[in-house]
Amino acid sequence: MKTKKQSGRRLSIDLIALAVLALMIVFSVLRPGIAPEGYVPGTFATVCALLPPVVAITLAFLTKEVYASLFVGIVVGAFLYSGGNAELALNTMLFHEEAGLIAGIANPSHAAILVFVTLLGTLVVLMNRSGGAAAFGRWASRRIKTRAGAQLATMLMGVLIFVDDGFNCMTVGSVMRPITDGHKVSRAKLAYLIDATAAPICIIAPISCWAAAVSYAVPEEMEINGFQMFIRTIPYNFYALATLAMVLLLTVLRFDYGKMKLHEANAAKGDLFTSGEAPYSEEQMQTPAENGRISNLVIPVVTLIVTCILGMLYTGGWFRGVGLIAAFADADSARGLVMGTLVTVLITFWLYLRRGVLSFKDFMSSFPAGFRSMCAPMIILILSWNLSGMTGLLGAADFVHGVVESSAAALQMLIPAVVFLFSVFLAFSTGTSWGTFTILIPIVCAVFPAQAEMLTLSIAACLAGAVCGDHCSPISDTTIMSSAGAQCNHLNHVSTQMPYAMTAAAVSAVGYLLAGVICYYTENALAVLALPAVLLLLAAVLLHARRRADKRA
């Protein structure tokens, strides 16, 4: 039987729901449901523009429900945009030509990512069914003897696949899962290793999609071209370099802290997931072929890497005579990845049928199986794009642009640190690193002359902050695909990675303060001396944390 307290609580909820519904109807009747041409919401470019992602992220951590949290953030954004008009809010969140749910799915780049993820899911299912993944796991287990070795091997593979972060996440995850599972490395730790060697590697790799995006973000009127500027920022990208150093230190020291410590302790006892059953487990439980060979995995993976790189070069015009660097700069990575992955699936089809590993029926059934295995990350991606679109409609970028621009002139030596922190916040809120540095780099370029060392340092701070915010954000494409690649619960990945990312961010912020002071007084490249200071500070922090943990134990 229901108690009076429960009945009263449900009545209160019903009354609140009716009141909200009545207000929505009133607003909808009093105001038009379609935004007029040139419509600008009253909250445009104000601090309210950041409310939708803040709501979504906060709810995700409190409720542990990603889909509902993202949806609530989208609804909040739609109602802020519509000024409370329910009809306009509904039309905006679903059908707005720039930010609506349908527009997000129909966007060619977004649609290409969804196709790429589906095809890659299919390829993973094929490699599992062929016995290739199991055979590779057995081979690696005879050579990789320790948990530290498995983690270092994962890092090494992440470093080698530097062309695109999304491609990195999915490929490294599918190859290294059997190995890390065999050495009882938690899926949360695997997701961190994947994420830490995805964007942080791409942002310091001259031949990558990220280098091309940065090159385009630097205004054409600058005396130095965008690619040269990207090369100059590499030694100043403290966050990316600190993150790689942190992976090495944590692995060598055999030390973890925060929630990751619990996940790793549970993994050592045989529980790789900590929070319950494995996500995406349906397809992984299928029995692999008994005649599986290592080449059933190696050939598709090598083919995938080669064809995806060639696909990106093709979209950049390399086969039409465009130079290598220019081709990468002009490449459409989403199109290139889809082309490369499809070619790889077809080559895998030929290889497996020729070897008699799988029947034609088994091969074709892998397509819906691959789609099912990737449904969860694809739903999160779609909702994240929708939320990012709502944030864009509210002028979050313009708000941050105004704050940075107004403070830049008054904070000369502190500008690198300020730019870093603003970049972290914007990327975390919007879930996009590319969008962040595209907004902030022109502001930085307007503050300093083209040859000033402070310009290089500040652009590097912008890139580092964008990667950091992207690394931490639960609505970032890279974070989502790292969870999918590791087949780890998404919120487990976010919550275990956050303390590590914040540690690297803190020492990086100190580094930008130090480098800004050096650069302000010397006006030369001596500011690069801040890099060893950042790495030494990081090592000191981790050693101190380890000593404290040992004392508690």
Q: Counting beta carbons within 10 angstroms of the beta carbon of residue 334, is it exposed (0 to 12), middle (13 to 18) or buried (19 or more)?
A: buried
Residue 308 · residue 159 · CB < 8 Å = no
Q: Write out the H or E segment, with its range, that includes residue 386.
A: helix 375-393
Query: Which of 239, 157, 145, 165 shows the shortest CA–CA distance to 190?
Result: 157
Residues of the chain below pLDDT 70: 1-37, 163-164, 167, 207-209, 211-213, 215-217, 220-225, 227, 276-292, 325, 329, 397, 400-411, 447, 449-451, 523-525, 553
DSSP 8-state class, residue 288? P
pLDDT of the residue at 350: 92
pLDDT of the residue at 128: 78
**In sequence order, which residues have a C-beta less than 8 Å from that of residue 441 and are 6 or more positions away?**
214, 217, 218, 459, 462
Residue 296 · residue 132 · CB < 8 Å = yes
**In sequence order, which residues have a C-beta less than 8 Å from that of residue 495 and are 6 or more positions away?**
61, 259
In a domain, 26, yes or no: yes
Domain count, the chain: 1
Query: Which of 329, 407, 340, 305 shows the shortest CA–CA distance to 112?
Result: 340
pLDDT of the residue at 463: 92
In a domain, 336, yes or no: no
Q: How far is CA 316 from CA 76, 107, 313, 327, 333, in A?
A: 39, 20, 5, 4, 9
Over 25-57, what HEC string results?
HHHHHHCCCCCCCCCCCCCCCCHHHHHHHHHHH
In a domain, 507, yes or no: no
Under DSSP, is residue 475 helix (H, G, I), strand (E, B) or coil?
coil
Tokens of 275: 């929070």
pLDDT of the residue at 499: 93
CA distance 190 to 150: 10
Cβ atoms within 10 Å of 528's Cβ, excluding its own: 16
In a domain, 55, yes or no: yes
Tokens of 490: 């998404």
Residue 310 · residue 194 · CB < 8 Å = no
In a domain, 168, yes or no: no
In a domain, 362, yes or no: no
pLDDT of the residue at 220: 62
DSSP 8-state class, residue 528? G
In a domain, 87, yes or no: yes
Q: How far is CA 187 from CA 138, 275, 276, 384, 483, in A?
A: 19, 11, 12, 23, 9
Where in the sequence is the domain holding 55, given as residue range(s)? 21-95
Tens-place pLDDT, residues 115-129: 887 887 888 788 878
pLDDT of the residue at 15: 54
In a domain, 506, yes or no: no
Tokens 């295995």 — which residue?
373
* pTM (whole model) above 0.85: no
Residue 357 · residue 332 · CB < 8 Å = no
Residue type, 317: G
Residue type, 52: P
Using left for φ > 0, alpha for ψ between -120 and 50, and beta otherwise, residue 258 falls in left
**In sequence order, which residues have a C-beta less than 8 Å from that of residue 364 and are 6 or more positions away?**
none
Tokens of 348: 């895998």
